[in-house]
Amino acid sequence: MDFTTFLWTTLGAFLTLATFSFLYKDNPFYKLAEHLVVGVSAGYFVIIVWHGTMVPNLFQKLADGDWFMLWLNSTQPWYIVPGILGILMWTRFSRKYGWLSRWPMALYIGIAAGVAVPLEMSNKVNKQLVATMVDINWSNFMGTGFFDPFSGLANLLIFIGVIAGLIYFFFSKAHTGAVGGVAKLGIWTLMIGFGASFGFTVMARISLFINRLQYLDKNWREAAFDSSNPNYGAGFQIVFWLIIALIVVYVVREIMTHLSHKKANSATE
């Protein structure tokens, strides 16, 4: 790692710590990071859409003609139509011509709705129902025990659970009597599902934090003290300790102000 890359890594570490400081309270470092990321992410997106979509999908298709004739003598002049529809999207900001933006919107919404009808029906409803209505494997009913997820018993339990869950969602009939009993089973099944989701969510959130720890330790701290690096120099450690000093100064200042506030409060009491 050369020194420039290390400086960039340090910037990343600084911004990581600045963002974490929000856990203590909102402060200028956090605000800086927050506003910076909005701008950089938007600028990044502009470039990705420009080089990724506008140029290859539109301009290059119109550009093979003579520049002075614009698109007229391009080999694919019809690409001007989506171009115009796209520009109509921008009339949204005008009070007078805003209605024009409804045309490209209508085309998009119509197409999105049209593809959804058969595909969502077949993939989210039909195939799921078909997979529920399987023959129960009686010869392997118990499998390797009650907790075998691929036994005949598991098939039966899935079938019961899905039906009960669906009945719970069915509000056209009051949940009383037998229907109420099945609906209760349904809500129990759903709760196990939500519980499993929650268990996974805890792991997910912790993962995000661990990732930042790994960045601070492996990418930054280790680089600061990695003397096997051919480009290594005293600058690495100086930069590292400068950032640490900055944090310590901030923390000490916060504690001091906190204590003096406490003193002032107890004095007024």
Least separation in angstroms between residue 258's CB and another protein is 12
Residues 230, 200: Cα–Cα separation, whole Å? 43
Determine if 208 is a binding residue for another protein (CB under 8 A).
yes
How crowded is residue 13: how many other Cβ atoms within 10 Å of its Cβ? Answer: 22
Binding test (CB under 8 A) with another protein, winner from 69, 70, 72, 111: 111
DSSP character at residue 133: S
Contact 62, 76 (CB under 8 A): yes
**249 binding another protein? (CB under 8 A):** no
Q: Is 107 in the site for another protein (CB under 8 A)?
A: yes
Smallest distance, Å, CB 237 to another protein?
19
Please answer whether residues 239 and 6 qualify as being in contact, where contact means their C-beta atoms are separated by less than 8 angstroms: yes
Which one of the spans 66-74, 204-212, 241-249, 250-258 is the region binding another protein (CB under 8 A)? 204-212
Stretch near another protein under the rule CB under 8 A, chosen from 64-72, 108-116, 232-240, 244-252: 108-116
In the region spanning residues 163 to 182, those forming contacts with another protein, defined by CB under 8 A, are 164-166, 168-169
Distances (CA, A) of 181 to 176, 186, 188: 7, 9, 11
Residue 141: alpha-carbon gap to chain centroid: 41
Site for another protein in 36-75 (CB under 8 A): 36-61
Residue with tokens 């099945």: 182
Among 27, 73, 94, 211, contact with another protein (rule: CB under 8 A) = 211
Closest CA to 27 of 208, 245, 247: 247
State in Å, rounded, how far the first CA of the chain is from the last one: 57
Does the footprint of another protein cover residue 154 (CB under 8 A)? Answer: yes
The structure tokens listed for 152 are 């005949």
Taking residues 21 to 40 in sequence order and writing x for each that binds another protein by CB under 8 A, - otherwise, the string is -xxx------xxxxxxxxxx
Query: If binding is defined by CB under 8 A, does position 262 make contact with another protein?
Result: no
Q: Does 133 bind another protein (CB under 8 A)?
A: no
